[in-house]
Amino acid sequence: MGAGEYPAVTSAIIGASRPDQLTETLAAVDQPIDPEIKAKLDDATVEYHWDDAIR
């Protein structure tokens, strides 16, 4: 789920205490999210989708 899907998202918050954690996190950017999991995440955060009308 890239920031392009959500125009209001300007950056991701990541945390790493070791360089290998950062490498793994950054590699995940190119991994697609299963549509079913994405739907569950969207449902769980619906109250925060204040800008859905502009999408």
Give the number of other Cβ atoms within 10 Å of residue 21's Cβ.
12
- pLDDT score recorded for residue 27: 84
- pLDDT score recorded for residue 5: 65
CA distances in angstroms from 13 to 16, 26, 36, 46, listed in the order given: 10, 11, 23, 20
Give pTM, 2 decimals: 0.47
- pLDDT score recorded for residue 2: 53
- pLDDT score recorded for residue 40: 92
- Express each pLDDT in 15-47 by its tens digit: 788 888 888 888 887 888 899 998 998 888 888
- pLDDT score recorded for residue 13: 72
- pLDDT score recorded for residue 6: 63
Q: Are 42 and 35 in contact (CB under 8 A)?
A: no
Domain ranges of the chain: 3-54
